[in-house]
Amino acid sequence: MPTCINKKLEIAIDIGHSPAHPGAISARGITEYNYNQTIAYLLQQRLLHLGFSNAFIISERNAEMPLHARASLANAKRAALLISIHHDSVQPHYLSTWEYEGQTYRFSDRYQGYSLFISEKNPEYNRSLEFAHLLGEELRSLDFIPTLHHAEPIAGENRPLIDENKGIHRFDDLIMLKDTKMPALLIECGVIVNRQEEELLASKLYQQNLVTALEHAIVRFAEVKPAVTP
């Protein structure tokens, strides 16, 4: 029996941060917001192309939208899944400086890799976890490796690790995860303060692979499970 995919699902894509508050700054001075936008739009295009006509970007027209308003909008639109796109940094004490094209930037080559976060305060925690497992599997099958530095027992980290192999953590108080009513996940696509990993994250091929993993996980999440007959 062919698998049935529910392509009507409203997939909410959140671009982490905003032009005025752009998040982390990469080892070459590029904002996290810039990287987040690239992946978010690639993902939306891919989903629309696949027939997920209700895939939408939450803060497209109002990039300065506060987090609470973003969560409310996703709730009002009855999104079936929310994915918040981010790129990662490290704690400030790990950063050093280097010169790149005549400018001084901060970097740390200590950690690299992706990480996934879900919140136990999300009312759909179990389905958030289900999606995190699907995405972790797809990322691992495309050779992406998780960083585990957010689980370090130091101030600012200490995120409980749910699945080490798939890089799934709990981060209960993230607004986009706890104030949303649908399954929700935040992905740190990679560490942009790492000089080598930034080069990968900036490459079109690597970006396409990341989006492929997201796409495959979303398609599997949208599979309509056949009703169990007694």
Residues that bind Zn ion (CB under 5 A): 16, 23, 86
Give the nearer residue to Zn ion in terms of CB position, either 86 or 178. 86
Cα distance between the two ends of the chain? 19
SS (H, E, C) the chain: CCCCECCCCCEEEEECCCCCCCCCECCCCCEHHHHHHHHHHHHHHHHHHHCCCCCEECCCCCCCCCHHHHHHHHHHCCCCEEEEEEEECCCHHHCEEEEECCEEEEECCCCCCEEEEECCCCCCHHHHHHHHHHHHHHHHHCCCCECCHHHCCCCCCCCCEEECCCCEEECCCCHHHHCCCCCEEEEEEEECCCHHHHHHHCCHHHHHHHHHHHHHHHHHHCECCCCCCC
The tokens describing 4, both together, are 């049935």
Among 91, 104, 109, 94, which Cα is nearest to 199's?
109
CB of 130 to Zn ion, least distance (A): 24
| Block residue for tokens 């289900």 | 130
Closest residue to bound Zn ion by CB: 86
- How far is Cα 31 from Cα 17, in angstroms, rounded to an integer? 10
CB of 86 to Zn ion, least distance (A): 4
